[in-house]
Structure 1
Amino acid sequence: MPFFIRTMMKVLRVPNRTIFIVVIAFVFGSATIAYALEPSTFHTWFNALYWVMTTMATVGYGDFFAKTNIGKAFTIFLYVFGIGLLSLIIGKIIDLLSTIYKHWEAGKLNFHGKDHIIIINWSKKAQYAIDEILSFSPSSHIVIIDESDKHPVTDRHEIHFISGDPSSEDILEKAMLKQAKAVIIFADTRIDEPALADGKTLLIASSIERLHPNVHTTVEITQDKNTKNFRHVKVNDFVLSYDAVSRLAVRAALQQGSSEIINQLIRRDVGDDIHEIPVRPEWRTYKDAFMGTLEYGATLLSDRDDLGINRKLNEPIPADARLFVVSDEETHRKLLEVDKRQNS
């Protein structure tokens, strides 16, 4: 028995590639031997291969079987060694799948894809961001980078997790940063000191800027005074976490009902939302765009971050304009359909 156990342990330590090669050689060799022993039984080599596979799998349909003594002896050999080899390779496959899943869960696997969204630093806010992204675009692929060692969202296959330092070049390359559509950096909630949390965020943003300066980057900042420190790394958008909550609370107290409007605009599942629309060729001025969107029930809100365009309606729309409207999903869809028909 100790000899058997030692032998099995040695077999289990054999590299997977070697085992696969041995099994393939065993199956094909057995088919060749079976056909050579009883050509009148199997008629073709492929039938012999089929018989070997059904015998090793213990299926045994009975449409082919050995008729000579030497053929039956070979069948016994196939039972003893073939079934064992097949069980071994099945076990190896299951073990390989289990290993892949464990590595995926631990964030050790590279992401393979493009046009994805990278979310850095896991928190409740990151969870809400993922829900919002998937409600807006259910087919989106998301990569989470965090220093924890376990996947925070294991029930969604479209969310990939990478464990490690998000400022590290190796980790960002594993997340396919250069193929990403956007990056969202949340403040690390494990750091109590706001200045230190913003310092870590700045380090991550600097690494992203160095590796992929053209990717759209949104950063959460805990203190407004630290915003100027991010200017040189070309961050596209800032979100002031604590400051925004405080301001929203004050507005709710002094201007009752205003917080409901803001909450509605930042949630896709309630009421109207902010949508970007393409500039139509017939729109020469902001007034043309205002009246053109109003016709469908949408309200022109801004050109990029300029919320004052309704005070300069007679000014021409610049070539690089990005117009945003407030509307529901159906109205936004109609506006896009009209633009699509005009361009077709």
Structure 2
Amino acid sequence: MKYLKKFRVLIFGLLAYLTLVFFLYLVEAGAESANIHSFMDAIWYSIVTLTTVGYGDFFPVTSVGKIIGIAFVIGSLGLLGLLIGKAVERFNEIQEKRKMGLNGTDFSNHIVIIGWNDFSREVVKQLRNSDRRVAIVTEQKDQIDLIYGSFGKDDVFVLFSDWRDTSNFDKLNLEQASVVFVNLPNDTDNLIAMLNVKKVNSKVDFVVALESSDLRDTFFSAGCTHVLSKNAIAARLIASYTYEPDVAMFANDLITSTVYNEESEFDIQQYRITSSNPFANQTFGHAFHTLKQKHNVIAIGICKTQNGTRELIKVPQDDTVLEVGDYLILILNGKTEIEIVREFGIKEGV
């Protein structure tokens, strides 16, 4: 119905225009000293006038012709205003579409966050400290500018969309994502969102923050990689502050990402062992002592993957061999992180 109305207006306007051009031709063609002698001359004059080009090669000489000419001049102002308005409207539509993320992103090996709140914001802060790219899905349009204002646009992408609308998932480049963090207000929504993402990328790892820790097994059965309870984590840390505050402060510092090149900031990081890593096929004991002496970095664990299952070995025996594909877990600061990245030839993380 909307398009039919526009079509009718277009047809009416075209007929009105052709009628004026025809009358202009009629009154001018036989006039003395007239220079509009044909219907095409009248059309040419009208187009030149309406587009405000104004060559002056054709012009009306009769009174009626001049009145019609005035109509074309007034019409040219309206046409110019319409064209400028449409151009501005189109430009605003393009800007709004880009702002809402509807053009998509070409990020790869990035983190996708579904659901935006204060907890998500803190997670993004830590991810950006680790130089990870992040794509965010939010239903809060007023948060888009705030997110970009806090984190910039180079390494953070925001998609304004209902998380239930899976047709927009292609804008997130989910096929190239490394991890999806689901952080919605309730656990039922978290489960539904996770299953919807799995339809697009069944191999991606999932991290879900639960309200109820009783549902951990349910999420693991559904294919979730890591299931966390925000209340349980907070409770453990708070309880630790009550009777061993120094340990709690140390633990809190370690789980916070380091600031680049900052010597006083410590963090726990993991690095994949590649074939070019100096400790590939070496023992954990050799890596431990070398890293401590050379960089003052402490190795505390290894993660091995066998048949798709990850095995975390805490404080491994000295004779444990570091194989290609394993992850070496280290305690280091922001300055030594630069040295480790240079020596290992790879950034932290999976």
Normalising by structure 2, what TM-score? 0.65
Gaps of 5+ in 1: 1-8, 15-51, 58-64, 189-196
Which has the higher mean CA deviation after the structures are superposed, 228-237 or 325-334? 228-237
Q: 1:282 to 1:299 in 2, by over 3 A?
A: closer
Q: CA deviation at 1:335?
A: 1.6
The CA distance in 2 between the partners of 1:100 and 1:281, in whole Å, is 50
The CA distance in 1 between the partners of 2:289 and 2:223, in whole Å, is 35
Which one-letter code corresponds to 1:150 in the other structure?
A: K
Q: CA deviation at 1:212?
A: 0.7
Normalising by structure 1, what TM-score? 0.66
Preserved contact between residue 162 and residue 175 of structure 1 (Cα < 8 Å): no
Which one-letter code corresponds to 1:113 in the other structure?
A: D
Preserved contact between residue 265 and residue 274 of structure 1 (Cα < 8 Å): yes
Q: CA deviation at 1:333?
A: 1.3
1:317 pairs with 2:319? no
SS state of the match for residue 312, structure 1?
coil
Question: Which residue does the alignment assign to 1:331?
Answer: 336
Question: Which residue does the alignment assign to 1:163?
Answer: 161
Q: CA deviation at 1:232?
A: 2.5
Question: Which residue does the alignment assign to 1:299?
Answer: 298
SS state of the match for residue 92, structure 1?
helix
Which one-letter code corresponds to 1:300 in the other structure?
A: A
Question: Which residue does the alignment assign to 1:154?
Answer: 145
Question: Which residue does the alignment assign to 1:89?
Answer: 83
Which one-letter code corresponds to 1:88 in the other structure?
A: L
Q: Which of 245, 250, 259 matches 2:239?
A: 250
Q: CA deviation at 1:108?
A: 7.7
Alignment map for 1:272-283 (pairs within 5 Å): 272-279=266-273, 280-283=277-280
The CA distance in 2 between the partners of 1:272 and 1:320, in whole Å, is 25
The CA distance in 2 between the partners of 1:72 and 1:201, in whole Å, is 71
Which has the higher mean CA deviation after the structures are superposed, 296-305 or 211-220? 296-305
The CA distance in 2 between the partners of 1:253 and 1:307, in whole Å, is 29
Count of aligned pairs? 271
The CA distance in 1 between the partners of 2:195 and 2:335, in whole Å, is 39
Alignment map for 1:1-344 (pairs within 5 Å): 70=57, 85-102=79-96, 107=100, 109=102, 111-115=104-108, 116-137=110-131, 140-144=133-137, 146=138, 148=139, 150-155=141-146, 156=148, 157=153, 158-166=156-164, 168-188=165-185, 197-268=186-257, 269=259, 271-279=265-273, 280-283=277-280, 284-294=282-292, 295-304=294-303, 308-340=313-345
Q: 1:271 to 1:281 in 2, by over 3 A?
A: closer
Q: CA deviation at 1:208?
A: 2.0
SS state of the match for residue 263, structure 1?
helix
- CA deviations on 1:104-142 (whole Å, 9 max, x unpaired) are 66x58252323243211221101112222233327x242
Q: 1:257 to 1:111 in 2, by over 3 A?
A: same
The CA distance in 2 between the partners of 1:141 and 1:79, in whole Å, is 54
Question: Which residue does the alignment assign to 1:23?
Answer: none
Identity %: 16
Please report the RMSD computed on the Cα atoms of aligned residues, expressed in angstroms: 3.6
The CA distance in 1 between the partners of 2:52 and 2:334, in whole Å, is 58
Q: CA deviation at 1:229?
A: 1.0
Which one-letter code corresponds to 1:184 in the other structure?
A: F
Gaps of 5+ in 2: 11-47, 61-68, 304-309
Q: 1:112 to 1:319 in 2, by over 3 A?
A: closer
The CA distance in 2 between the partners of 1:265 and 1:227, in whole Å, is 25
The CA distance in 1 between the partners of 2:73 and 2:129, in whole Å, is 55
The CA distance in 2 between the partners of 1:56 and 1:285, in whole Å, is 82
Preserved contact between residue 284 and residue 316 of structure 2 (Cα < 8 Å): no
The CA distance in 2 between the partners of 1:134 and 1:81, in whole Å, is 55
Which one-letter code corresponds to 1:124 in the other structure?
A: D
Q: 1:99 to 1:312 in 2, by over 3 A?
A: same
Q: 1:149 to 1:127 in 2, by over 3 A?
A: closer
Q: CA deviation at 1:220?
A: 0.7
Q: Which has the larger radius of gyration?
A: 2
Which one-letter code corresponds to 2:120 in the other structure?
A: A
Which one-letter code corresponds to 2:228 in the other structure?
A: V
The CA distance in 2 between the partners of 1:175 and 1:336, in whole Å, is 28
The CA distance in 1 between the partners of 2:295 and 2:73, in whole Å, is 75
The CA distance in 2 between the partners of 1:141 and 1:124, in whole Å, is 16
